[in-house]
Amino acid sequence: MAIDQDRNSPQSDFSGRHLAIGTNVVLSIVIALTLVVVSQWVSFKRNTRVDLTSSRLNSLTTGTEYLVSDLDQKVRLASLYFETDIEDEDQARYRERMDDLLSLYQRTNPSMVEIRSINPLQDHAKRDAFVDELRGLKVFSEETQPYEALAERFKNELLGQINELLQGQSEKLAGIVETTSDETAKIDLGQIQMLLEDRERAVAFATEDVRALVDGASPQYGVVQQKLVQLYSGVVRDLNNILSYCQQLRVQRTSMPEAVSDYVNSVDTAYRSLIARLEGETTNARGLGGLEFDGLVRQLGPMSNALVVYTDEQAKVVRFDEIWPAADPRAVEAGFGQRIFRGEEKVTSAILQLTVAEKTAVVFARFGGQSLFAGGRPGMPGMGSRPGPYAKIKAMLEDANFVVEEWDVASMETPPELDPPPVRTIFVVLRPINPPPGGQPQSQGGFNDLHRQRVVGALGEHPRAIFVAGWLPGAFGDVPEPYPYDGYLADDWGIHVASDMVVLRAFPYPGKPGEMAIGQESFVAGEFSRSDHAIVRGMVGKRGATRLACPIEISGSRPEGVVVDKLLWMNAVEGLWGVRDFTKYEKNVREGKPVSRQEGDATGPFTVAVAGEAGDGKIVVVSGRAPFSDEWALARGGLLTSRGITTVLRNPGNVHLFINSLHWLNDRTEWLDVGKPVDIGTIAIDERSGSMRVIKAFAYVGWPATALLAGGVVWWMRRR
């Protein structure tokens, strides 16, 4: 009985509650720790990174991932971004961003991509060893062989011959001067002796320089070449001067001591052999030209922030200003917030150029006019000529591993021949523009059937081409110019370019509801809808625009085997018209009055880009006035971001469409979107992505369910 009373006492009940509470706490801690350990173990074993931005800012593009995953040779990425104790914040951000990017490449294919970081300001031994490693690459080792041979011939042969002649002649003259009593002869020979001794000292100094350049940690054979050319040229010049002087002495001095006369008469025989040898060696050295490896090393300065992409055979330096160009090209200085990061675009381009040997040619077919790439029009005084209208686009295509040429159909019957021959040629057929009435005629007159047949003939039975088919006013403005390739496109592809109609967008007239107005921007076509075609599938969030577009129509009765897909179109909305006769609107536009759609004008939707396939042939047709020119595709504008107002591409979708079309025409769909630059104007969290939905589900359901599960386990164990 006493025992039962003790068990039911308040002291016993208090101890029991404490024990239960303590047990609950311990169980909760154990369960929580177990969940943490298990989650960490799972994350370690199944490490997954998720990029939630709509522009894939924190991940590689699909094209880059395919390229890197499919590598059949080692690719090494070496970052030479410097680090110091007194560096500013921007330098650390540049370096960290580059390190993050390189880790993405290595993670994509760890067995084929190696990355390394070298601090060139402090890791001097590592930098020297790295330069030696680059020198051993096949392309540079083969390149330096003739330079090494040049240096070896100097050290093993020519240096001894030069010193032997200079020293021997100088000693011989010293003996003659010392023994002769003819003061005039002493003066004459003394001048020759001084010249030989000066040249001997110059050769000694040059030899020290050459040995240092050749035997140093980083041999600079290009500089050695220049040094030897200077050395040989100086020796030859002095020896020839001595020969000329001795010839004068023989004429002017009718009587000379025998020893003096013997010397003057012997120099020709003594000097000619060496002069001939040095002249031949100088010609050989000059014929070597510049050394590519020296140019590469010069880009690896201690504060260059360079990136080197290399394989076992060759290497390419990607400069800081290529990866981090200023958002405003006119800016003298720009910090981190005023630069655009083009890291993936440039690194992937370098990998592409180093690992893909076969190249495809892109030939722009134009009709007369200025060169598309070289400067043609005079610029500002003192600034030379302006670059051609497609100069920057050409550089971008070369970065994408294309060979780029232009073909003036007005003056050349056939496209230019390329060496080495490309594996395929893709034509970019620009809209021909005839000279205005009374203006300077083209060399072949206006565009005609002959020129059209040249282009169509070059395309062949299995064409690969992009046709640029914008609206163009006629010679007198009233009747638009018909698109000259419309017949070919209609007959062979079932594609009709309605060049008698220009697409424009009328805007609400200010202060007058229901009324419309036309302004300068009305002729700019944008706000496209896109299909799921491979060319434009990755164009999400990419702003694109074209001007003076005319509708593209797909015929319902196409030739057998021809498949045509829409790429981009403008949906029918209020104010979107296809105008056939703009003169009906001109009066109101000039006077600033409202306008209304005229009878016969279309209302849309309007297709502005299509892609066609027929057997091995492929074409893309895009409507607009020069939509892929530097002026339009690479136009820049201001954008308000979290970092303030920055300069961005106004029409990045144009570049996307152009380069993706070329990859599609080249049957390289795996390279679509490869290394595309990030458009910071469209960076946003993609709420519709599968990863985002998983994260939301885990946050809203997973964690609460885990907590309930843990509580349920504790409750169950207590009930037991």
340-354 confidence digits (pLDDT tens): 899 999 999 999 999
Residue with tokens 């020709």: 268
Q: How many CA atoms lie within 13 A of 35 on its CB side?
A: 15
Please determine, for residue 534, whether its predicted confidence score (pLDDT) is greater than 90.
yes
Please determine, for residue 541, whether its predicted confidence score (pLDDT) is greater than 90.
no
pLDDT of residue 216: 74
The mean pLDDT of 112-123, rounded to a whole number, is 95
Query: How many other CB atoms are found less than 10 A from the CB of residue 40?
Result: 10
Give the C-alpha separation, 252 to 250, whole Å: 6
The four Cα atoms 311, 315, 317, 322 give a dihedral, to 10 degrees, of -70
Please determine, for residue 685, whether its predicted confidence score (pLDDT) is greater than 50.
no
For residue 524, give the DSSP letter.
E
- CB contact at 8 A, 229 and 147: no
The mean pLDDT of 317-335, rounded to a whole number, is 87
Rounded to two decimals, the pTM is 0.74
Specify the higher pLDDT residue, 73 or 643: 73
Reading the block at residue 720, the tokens are 């037991």
Residue with tokens 């030897």: 228
Please determine, for residue 468, whether its predicted confidence score (pLDDT) is greater than 90.
yes
pLDDT of residue 54: 44
Query: How many other CB atoms are found less than 10 A from the CB of residue 228?
Result: 23
The mean pLDDT of 395-424, rounded to a whole number, is 94
Residue 142, C-beta contacts closer than 8 angstroms, at least 6 positions apart: none
Per mean pLDDT, which range of 102-116, 464-478, 483-497 is the poorest?
A: 464-478
Please determine, for residue 679, whether its predicted confidence score (pLDDT) is greater than 60.
no
The mean pLDDT of 375-398, rounded to a whole number, is 71
Residue with tokens 């969940």: 35
Burial label, 107 (beta-carbon count in 10 A; 0-12, 13-18, 19+): middle
For residue 115, give the DSSP letter.
E
pLDDT of residue 22: 66
Give the C-alpha separation, 151 to 157, whole Å: 10
pLDDT of residue 451: 95
For residue 213, give the DSSP letter.
H
Please determine, for residue 217, whether its predicted confidence score (pLDDT) is greater than 90.
no
pLDDT of residue 635: 85
pLDDT of residue 292: 87
β-strands 507-508, 502-505: how paired? unpaired
Residue with tokens 């939707």: 605
- CB contact at 8 A, 486 and 551: no
Specify the higher pLDDT residue, 99 or 690: 99
Please determine, for residue 364, whether its predicted confidence score (pLDDT) is greater than 90.
yes
Model confidence band, residue 683 (pLDDT cutoffs 50, 70, 90): very low
59-101 confidence digits (pLDDT tens): 888 889 999 999 999 999 999 999 999 989 999 999 999 999 9
- CB contact at 8 A, 68 and 675: no
Reading the block at residue 115, the tokens are 């990355």
Give me the amino acid identity at 661. Answer: S
Reading the block at residue 377, the tokens are 């029009």
DSSP string, 589-628: HHHT--B-PPTT-B---EEEEEEEEETTEEEEEE-SSSTT
Please determine, for residue 681, whether its predicted confidence score (pLDDT) is greater than 50.
no
Give the C-alpha separation, 145 to 141, whole Å: 6
Give the C-alpha separation, 635 to 655, whole Å: 11
- CB contact at 8 A, 634 and 327: no
Specify the higher pLDDT residue, 229 or 253: 229
Average pLDDT over all residues of the chain? 85
β-strands 576-579, 502-505: how paired? antiparallel
- CB contact at 8 A, 323 and 77: no
The mean pLDDT of 526-532, rounded to a whole number, is 90
pLDDT of residue 334: 86
Give me the amino acid identity at 304. Answer: S
Please determine, for residue 411, whether its predicted confidence score (pLDDT) is greater than 70.
yes
The mean pLDDT of 324-340, rounded to a whole number, is 83
Model confidence band, residue 677 (pLDDT cutoffs 50, 70, 90): low
Give the C-alpha separation, 43 to 47, whole Å: 5
Model confidence band, residue 330 (pLDDT cutoffs 50, 70, 90): confident
Please determine, for residue 644, whether its predicted confidence score (pLDDT) is greater than 70.
no
Specify the higher pLDDT residue, 18 or 451: 451
CA 510 to chain centre: 45
Model confidence band, residue 682 (pLDDT cutoffs 50, 70, 90): very low
Q: Which of 399, 387, 388, 389 is nearest to 362 (CA)?
A: 399
